[in-house]
Amino acid sequence: MSNQPVKRGYSAATLDYVGARYLGVAEEKCSYTSQEVRIPMRDGINLVADFYNPILPNDQEPAGLLMVQCCYGRGSGISFFNARIFAARGYRVLFVSTRGTYGSEGDFNPAVNEQNDSQDIVKWMRQQPWYPGTFATLGCSYLGYSQWALLRDPPEDCIAAVIPVALHDQAWHAWGTGSFRLDRATWSDLMSRIGDESGNFLTRLANLPGLSFLRSTELDEAAAGLPLEASLKNYFNDKAPWLFDYMDHPNVDDPYWAKRRQQIALEKVNIPILLISGWYDTFTTQTMHQYKHLSDRGVNVSLIVGPWTHPQGSGLRSMPEIMDFLAEHVAKTGKYGRSKARIFITGAEDWSSLPDWPPQVPSRTLYLQTNTGIGSEQPAQDAAPSSFVFDPRNPTPSIGGNQMATGGRVDDSAYGERSDVLAFTSEPLSQDLEVIGVPSVQLSHSSDPPFADLFLRLSEVNSKGVSHNITDMYQGLDPNRDMSQPLKLNLQACAHRFRAGTRIRLVVSGGSFPMYARNLGTAEDRVSSDRTVPQKHTVSLAKGVSQLILPVSHDGASVV
């Protein structure tokens, strides 16, 4: 080890106390010391970490050891959520800066070195006199990805993991829809500014995920330029080279992505895991996949999904549950005591405890109708189709949802007023209708030219005519598809109660920008071309071929 342990000061103790009260966790058990250490990697570079050690009476042992890998620094704010709040409750914490960030040597290359580095950290921990023989992992977002990278080859002495709002598959997130996800540029902008803990606080704050509304509009302007790749390169200059590697590898099965995909961890891990997500998180779909895969294997996995965005779901709203989980599986002093799946039902604005997710419920089929209606009756054989034109030069905007920076449940009424959107809307419901699970859409759809994308959104329209988003999906379409066959598309999972008097809305558009790189309407690469062709989308309605299928747990509603 290097340096000497430093006792917690008054200002840190005050922040710890106020922060813990805000998060609703139990009182502290102790103070702690922190000590900077250096951890050697197999290739000769050293990672820098802070080791937090609780100050306990002589007859008490620490509650356990937590290992956290973080690429966002080790300053006071982020260390509170990832280390100090736990150290003050008796846990030892090793808080490590990712390779190439905040004092750790080497170059930062996202998602490439975490597998080997995490194993080397574990090897080093085992050699320390304070190592208790077992450890757990912790951390949200990219910190959660680092956990999946470790669990690709699970150490026998890793006994539990807390993984909020995290992806395990970088390729799936970047290109899984067939279009490039542009929050990779927002995140890369943050990571291109990595360095020491000095510098203007607001500058760093403005680039934290979820708070990028504080930054300048230069990146947004660059993302709007064509060709997209050239415009972003002009903005980044020589920074964030990985972003352009991502853009140049649109095939998720390309060998380039192999090290960046940790699906194998879901096949091999067999320890208690707590997964946390939000209905408006950037990685909700991946968290749901993680839960389903682990649950089907019989792994001891628990799931919490709240009405949260990415920052809210990171643990800010679920720290008491995290503490209870650690008390059972690490400290061995308590019980988690909650259902396997704890789900927030929007609309009802209440939590539901479920034995599993998604629940087995019946489905309700509604039909898209002429004059952009939705109802229980099938349209006639001669029902006229509906159509719209998507213009890549004036793309349909992203409004709320699962965006990194400006996501959430928002007023998306603007979609109903745009000419490049079809907003199929029901009559007011006569009774409550609770949708819980994975809604799907069968769509008889064609486009001219065949190069096109689809954005679908389920929303609720209240009695005042104001629409709010519930869930959505995006899909780049195969230009060689058989347009005579209906598309079958799953939206992201949701849990929402439509109250009596509200209306169901299905939004259909050809894009969602800047959440996804727009389809240019040509056979040319969407990130390297600047040639655009407007795309006419046509949705056939005859005899109910286009449908909205809802999984419902409470169905007393009449939809005409």
- In the numeric block, the tokens 């939590």 are attached to 351
Catalogue the long-range contacts made by 233-242 (C-beta closer than 8 Å, 24 or more residues apart). Answer: 236/188, 236/189, 236/192, 239/192, 240/188, 240/189, 240/191, 240/192, 242/109, 242/110, 242/188
β-bridge partners, 306: 278
**What 8-state DSSP symbol labels residue 330?**
I
- pLDDT given at position 521: 98
| Measured distance CA(183)–CA(280) in Å, rounded | 14
Structure tokens at 225: 């330029």
Q: What is the DSSP string of 440-456?
A: EEEEEEEEESS--EEEE
Structure tokens at 339: 């259902």
Structure tokens at 192: 């291109």
Structure tokens at 20: 């813990």
H or E element at residue 242: helix 241-247
| Measured distance CA(25)–CA(147) in Å, rounded | 24
- In the numeric block, the tokens 């308590």 are attached to 334
Structure tokens at 152: 């690709």
- pLDDT given at position 405: 77
- Give the model confidence (pLDDT) of 341-369 as tens digits: 999 999 999 999 999 999 999 999 999 99
Nearest Cα neighbor of 282 from 394, 148, 364, 186 is 186
H or E element at residue 552: strand 547-555
| Helix (H), strand (E), coil (C) string for 3-64 | CCCEECCHHHHHHHHHHHHHHCCCCCCCEEEEEEEEEECCCCCEEEEEEEEEECCCCCCCCE
Output phi, psi for 16, to 5 deg. Answer: -60, -45
| Measured distance CA(448)–CA(469) in Å, rounded | 28
1-133 under CATH 3.90.1750.10, yes or no: no
- pLDDT given at position 554: 63
Output phi, psi for 151, to 5 deg. Answer: -75, -5
| Measured distance CA(310)–CA(343) in Å, rounded | 16
For 234, counting Cβ atoms within 10 Å of its Cβ (0-12 exposed, 13-18 middle, 19+ buried), the class is exposed
User: For the chain, give me the number of helices (H) and strands (E)?
Assistant: 14, 24
Structure tokens at 115: 């597998």
| Measured distance CA(180)–CA(171) in Å, rounded | 10
- pLDDT given at position 213: 43
- pLDDT given at position 199: 36
Q: What is the DSSP string of 344-387?
A: EEBTTTEEEEESSSS----EEEEEEETTTEEESSPPPTTPPPEE
What does each of the 560 residues of the chain score in pLDDT, given as a tens digit? 458 999 999 999 999 999 999 999 999 999 999 999 999 999 999 999 999 999 999 889 999 999 999 999 999 899 999 999 999 999 999 999 999 999 999 999 999 999 999 999 999 999 999 999 999 999 999 999 999 999 999 999 999 999 999 999 999 999 999 999 999 999 999 999 876 443 333 344 444 444 444 445 899 999 999 999 999 999 999 999 999 999 999 999 999 999 999 999 999 999 999 999 999 999 999 999 999 999 999 999 999 999 999 999 999 999 999 999 999 999 999 999 999 999 999 999 999 999 999 999 999 999 999 999 999 999 999 999 999 999 999 999 999 999 987 899 999 999 999 999 999 999 999 999 999 999 999 999 999 999 999 999 999 999 999 999 999 999 999 999 999 999 999 999 999 999 999 999 999 999 999 999 999 999 999 999 999 999 999 999 999 999 999 999 965 555 54
What is the CA angle 164-355-176, rounded to 5? 45
Give all strands of the β-sheet with 273-280 in edge-to-edge order: 6-7, 31-40, 46-55, 91-97, 64-70, 135-138, 158-164, 273-280, 301-309, 341-345, 350-354
**What 8-state DSSP symbol labels residue 98?**
P
H or E element at residue 77: helix 76-79
| Number of Cα atoms under 13 Å in the Cβ half of residue 447 | 28
Output phi, psi for 12, to 5 deg. Answer: -65, -40
- pLDDT given at position 197: 46
| Measured distance CA(291)–CA(303) in Å, rounded | 7
Give the pairing type, strands 547-555 and 301-309.
unpaired
- Give the model confidence (pLDDT) of 42-77 as tens digits: 999 999 999 999 999 988 999 999 999 999 999 989
For 337, counting Cβ atoms within 10 Å of its Cβ (0-12 exposed, 13-18 middle, 19+ buried), the class is exposed
| Measured distance CA(131)–CA(125) in Å, rounded | 6
| Measured distance CA(371)–CA(425) in Å, rounded | 9
Start-to-end Cα distance in the chain? 71
363-555 under CATH 3.40.50.300, yes or no: no
Q: Give Cα 292 distance to the centre of its chain.
A: 16
For 491, counting Cβ atoms within 10 Å of its Cβ (0-12 exposed, 13-18 middle, 19+ buried), the class is buried
Mean pLDDT of the chain: 94
Structure tokens at 536: 């006419």
β-bridge partners, 246: none
- Residue extents of the structural domains in the chain: 1-133, 179-249, 363-555
- In the numeric block, the tokens 């999972």 are attached to 493
The alpha-carbon radius of gyration of the chain (Å, integer) is: 25
Structure tokens at 221: 């302007």
Omega within 30 of 0 (cis) for the link into 255: no
- pLDDT given at position 207: 43
